[in-house]
Amino acid sequence: MEDRREFLKQLGCVAGGAALLAGAPWLSSCTPERIREISGEKARIALIGTGSRGQYHIHNLLLIPHARIVALCDCYEPNLQAAAALCPGAKLYRDYRKLLEDKDIDGVIISTPLGSHAAITLDALSAGKHVFCEKAMARTLDECKAVYDAYRKSDKVLYFCMQRMFDEKYLRGMKLLHDGLIGEIVGMRCHWFRNADWRREVPSPELERQINWRLYKEHSGGLMTELACHQIEVCNLAVGRIPQSISGMGDIVYWKDGREVYDSVNVIYRYADGRKINYESLISNKFNGMEDQILGKKGTMELAKGVYYLEEDNSRSGIECLIDSMKEKVLTSVPLAGPSWRPEVKGQYIPHNIVEGKISVNGGQNMIGVDNDGSDVILSAFCSACITGEKAVNVVEEAYCATVLCLLGNKAMEEQRTILFPEYYKIPYMKF
């Protein structure tokens, strides 16, 4: 937490922080000046959905000085009681519509299955509540459009948990990318690998789809909406563009247990200038973990690890360069079936830290959430906005773009064809 506070303290206070804030205006609610403005005030927050992710948010809310948890809602009693034990004094609801009638609530946090995100978000905005919803934005393309349109007409704050937009290593990495550190971006490769069946224990058969909602298309977009949503958003931020076409393949390769969503996906997103995002995810092998990799002409950035590598690295010592040069000369002079032979392996790249000091690295294996990944900062920004009424800059738009692209990725896999981004779902924020 001390490292996080130091990062936030820098925003707007030093040259580097001011530049960071200029490139990430959605951080304005996190600056020390803004926090001082609301000193002593508390946003009255209610949680709709108190399962593992909802309780993760409770963990962070209890550390935010300008937040107070006043109500909890869940239709699954064990989760509601577990959350109630963490929030003594909070009102308990089983129906979110009743909770939305409570005048003592400023903002709601929605941590329910994806299939209900749109309906609850729309109802909450209509009830005059500020809203923070888990990603992805909605289960269908039309629901995404409905939520976006409702937000444009509303005077209420709306956040989606796109936490990489609030993660220091991603923010500073984006600044370095846009300053040209690794040269022109020529491509992107993202992957997320796990080795788990994605199932949870079900106490009674009729609760199967309610508890294991991620496995069924009615409630879930599978690996794309649950994982890729974050990573596609990072790539779009890196290049400042939206892909024009999408193609891919999806299959159930290993977990043949009645699930409806793919356990293995490969999707290619192509921008108008020919650059591509190659996205891959499966949940029957975890060797490669998770990474958001940006490829430039002069280097490569691995944002999840918080490191970058340069093609021509001047930080290498003279003796290292000499040894490599000698190796290169020896290898190129060895004849093999006539022409000279050169090993087709990458050179020895030196990792450089994006952020100095200790950082939090998410290996991608935790299915609930990890500490210091930006989730605490975006939640703090939302609670601040519940007090000031300040709308989040670009957060809704980024969530919309990422969600729509993931849903189009599913569509491309299901229909086994290349899909062009539909005109109807384009919004003014998008640049192609």
Contacts of 369 (CB under 8 A, 6+ apart): 53, 56, 375
Lowest model confidence (mean pLDDT) among 10-24, 48-62, 194-208, 387-401 = 10-24
Residue 11's pLDDT band (cuts 50, 70, 90): low
pLDDT digits (tens, 9 = 90+) for 279-288: 999 999 999 9
pLDDT at 341 over 70: no
Q: Percent of the chain, pLDDT > 90?
A: 78
CATH of the structural domain 2-165+369-393, one choice from 3.30.70.100, 3.40.718.10, 3.40.50.720, 3.20.80.10: 3.40.50.720
Higher pLDDT residue, 42 or 18? 42
Whole-Å CA distances, 257 to 122, 197, 206: 34, 9, 17
Write the pLDDT tens digit of every residue in 171-230: 999 999 999 999 999 999 999 999 999 999 999 999 999 999 999 999 999 999 999 999
Reported as a pLDDT band with limits 50, 70 and 90, residue 4 is: low
The stretch 288-310 carries a mean pLDDT of: 97
- Selection from 117, 222, 233 nearest residue 166 by Cα: 233
- Percent over 70 (pLDDT), the chain: 88
Query: Once rounded to an integer, what is the mean pLDDT over residues 379-390?
Result: 95
- Tell me: pLDDT of 320 over 60: no
Q: Six-digit token pair at 303?
A: 């944002």
* Average of per-residue pLDDT values in the chain: 90
Q: Where are the domains of the chain?
A: 2-165+369-393, 181-312+353-367+399-425, 314-348
Write the pLDDT tens digit of every residue in 95-115: 999 999 999 999 999 999 999
Q: What is the pLDDT of residue 358?
A: 72
Whether 102 contacts 71, CB under 8 Å: yes
pLDDT band for position 19 (50/70/90)?
Answer: confident
369 or 424, which is more confident: 424
Task: Determine the topology of domain 181-312+353-367+399-425 in CATH.
Answer: Dihydrodipicolinate Reductase; domain 2 (3.30.360)
Return d(Cα 22, Cα 202) in angstroms, integer.
Answer: 48
Q: How confident is the model at residue 380 (pLDDT cuts 50, 70, 90)?
A: very high
